[in-house]
Homo-oligomer: A and B are copies of this chain.
Amino acid sequence: MNSIKSITIIGSGNVASHLGKAFFDKGFIINQVYSKTLTNAETLATSLDANFCDKIEELTDESHIYIVCLKDAIINSFLADFKFKNSLIVHTSGSIDMDVFKINGFKNYGILYPLQSFSKNKALNLTTVPFCIEANTSKNETLLTGLAKNLSNNVHLIDSEQRKKIHLAAVFACNFSNYMYTIANDILAKNDINFELLKPLIAETANKIKENSPKDMQTGPAKRNDEEIIKNHLKLLADSPSYQDIYKLITENIIKDN
C-alpha cells in the first residue's frame, strides 16, 4: 500500500463524526463504522455511505486503516479484542501512549491526534487544525502524514511524551478558558445582563495572542495588583463560594507572576 484509500471508523462520538465526514468529503471510502451503540453506528455510517456494526467480530479486514476514536478508558479493551493485528491502526487520543498497540500485539500502528475541540452540531474546517502524528515505523509515519495532509496544512510529528504535554496545555487553553466564559455568562445571567455584551471582549482576548505572548497581554485588577477592586470583586462573589475560590486562586497566581 502506497497511500491510504479506505477507512474503518471505530467510534461514533464527536471525533469519529468530524474525522469521518472530513475523510468522506475528500473522497475516501469509509467501509464500516463501529459503535457499541448500534443506532449511533448506523446514524454516522448512513452519512458516510458505510456499513455499520456493534460487534468487534463483525469488523472486516478490508480497510487500509482503522481509526480508533473511542474514549481513552475503553481503547485498551477494544484493541485486545480486535483481531487483525497486521492492519494499520491508529488512535486519536491526546493522552494514550502509542505502546497500547504494541502491548496488544499490533504490527503497524500510530497516532492521528487532531488538536481541536470537536462539539456536536458545530461544523469545523479542519484545514488549519494541527494534526499530531506518531508511528511505529517510518513507512507508517509517511502513510499517516500523507493521510493527515488530505485534511490539514498543519501536520506535525510529535512523540507520545510531547503529545501528553500538548494535551495538558490544551486543557488550560481551551477547556479551562471556556469554563471562565461559563462563569462570566452565569454572573451576567444572574443579573439579567445579556452575555452578548462580553463577546467582543472574548473575541479580542483570543485575537490578541495571535501576535503577542499571552503573558504580555495580561491586563486586569490582578495584573495591576489593584487590592481595592479585588476586595470588591470577592465581596460581589459572596454568594458563589466556588467562583470566589477560583477568583482568589487565579488572582494570587497572576500577582505572583508580576
Contact = CB atoms under 8 A, between A and B. Distances in A.
Q: Which size class do A's interface residues fall under?
A: 35 or more
A62 to B, nearest CB: 32
Contacts of A165: 187-188, 191, 193, 236
Q: How many copies does the complex hold?
A: 2
A225 B175 CA distance: 13
A80 interface: no
A60 interface: no
Contacts of A82: none
Interface in A217-236: 217-224, 226, 228-229, 232-233, 236
B175 A162 contact: no
A173 B166 contact: no
Interface stretch (A21-29, A46-54, A111-119): A111-119
A250 interface: yes
Given A185-B214, A250-B179, A253-B246, A219 B174 contact: yes
